[in-house]
């Protein structure tokens, strides 16, 4: 046995020691949770790592990227300033604005619109950091949280597996996207989000669940999908927290320097009520 072989065997023995003592193993890493509640109507746990990974589809180079706002839209961010945004306590938003985009400054908190909207069409573009750091939920994480409650996940899901109900475009903790339409780190990606608020009657009875349609880089991820409730971590969402239909739109600070640009929203209105 050469000294090289001895060294190799030594490394193998250290590795097998690690198996017994620290849980190191060649088994694939667990992606999520199996000790969380079952998502109603499915066989899967909340954040189940064994849930099927959505099919990967390469989107076209551009879909609605840099789409100008139509005449009845409220422009929430035109690349210049954060005047339409504030932090959760109503203070000035502290994220960075440069070169036509805003960037999360980790630790300054999530930001939300000052205006509120009930049933709306939202256009938004984002880019995950071109310098890749972290894995799973720690890589390029943000989110669009309607009323701070109903999340459409934003994550770097390009070659980055995580539990499917937490990947990019997932309705967090509830429904994975129909496909994985993610672009590589640093590239601009588009979201079209059509959202209808939940409604309660005067006695507090839920009469309409929130629903959402999401188009990511030109691919439908959800089609008028009803939320099961809000989007808590490791729990099943509920509609227990009654609120007004008009809601703010929040962008999540999850500590990663995510970028956003070209954000506008328009109310859906109603048929026969021009």
- Which residue, 58 or 102, is less far from Mg ion as judged by CB? 102
Contact mark string toward Mg ion, 251..270, x via CB under 5 A: -x------------------
Interatomic CA distance for residues 70 and 256, integer angstroms: 31
Q: Which residue is nearest to Mg ion (CB)?
A: 143
Minimum CB separation from Mg ion for residue 213, in Å?
Answer: 19
Contact flags string 232-251 toward Mg ion, x per CB under 5 A: --------------------
| Closest distance to Mg ion from the beta carbon of 100 (Å) | 23
Contact 239, 209 (CB under 8 A): yes
Q: Which is nearer to Mg ion, 24 or 231 (CB)?
A: 231
Decide whether 143 or 173 has the Cβ nearer to Mg ion.
143
Residues 133-152 that bind Mg ion (CB under 5 A): 141, 143
Burial of 57 (0-12, 13-18, 19+ CB in 10 A): middle
- Cβ partners under 8 Å of residue 51, min gap 6: 32, 44, 163, 164, 165, 176
**Count of residues engaged in binding Mg ion, rule: CB under 5 A:** 3
* H-helix or E-strand spanning residue 145: strand 142-146
Tell how many helices (H) and how many strands (E) occur in the chain.
1, 17
Residues of the shown chain interacting with Mg ion in the complex, contacts defined by CB under 5 A: 141, 143, 252
């Amino acid at each position: 046995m050469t000294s090289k072989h001895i060294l190799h065997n030594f490394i193998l023995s250290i590795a097998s020691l690690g198996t017994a003592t620290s849980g190191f193993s060649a088994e694939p890493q667990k992606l999520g949770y199996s000790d969380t509640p079952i998502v109603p109507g499915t066989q899967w746990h909340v954040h189940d790592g064994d849930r099927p990974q959505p099919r990967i589809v390469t989107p076209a180079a551009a879909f609605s990227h840099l789409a100008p706002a139509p005449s009845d839209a409220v422009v929430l961010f035109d690349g210049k300033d954060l005047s339409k945004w504030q932090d959760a306590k109503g203070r000035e938003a502290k994220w960075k604005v440069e070169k036509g985009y805003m960037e999360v400054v980790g630790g300054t908190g999530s930001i939300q619109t000052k205006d509120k909207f009930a049933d709306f069409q939202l256009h938004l573009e984002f880019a995950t950091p071109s310098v890749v750091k972290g894995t799973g939920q720690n890589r390029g994480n943000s989110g669009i949280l309607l009323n701070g409650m109903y999340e459409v996940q934003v994550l770097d899901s390009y070659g980055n597996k995580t539990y499917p109900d937490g990947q990019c475009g997932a309705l967090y903790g509830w429904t994975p996207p129909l496909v994985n339409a993610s672009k590589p780190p640093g590239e601009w990606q588009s979201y079209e989000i059509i959202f209808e608020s939940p409604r309660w009657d005067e006695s507090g009875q839920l009469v309409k669940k929130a629903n959402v349609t999401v188009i990511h880089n030109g691919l439908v991820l959800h089609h008028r999908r009803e939320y099961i409730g809000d989007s808590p971590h490791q729990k099943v969402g509920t509609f227990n927290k009654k609120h007004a239909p008009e809601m703010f739109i929040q962008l999540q600070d999850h500590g990663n320097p995510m970028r956003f640009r070209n954000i506008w929203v328009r109310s859906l209105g109603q048929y026969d009520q021009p």
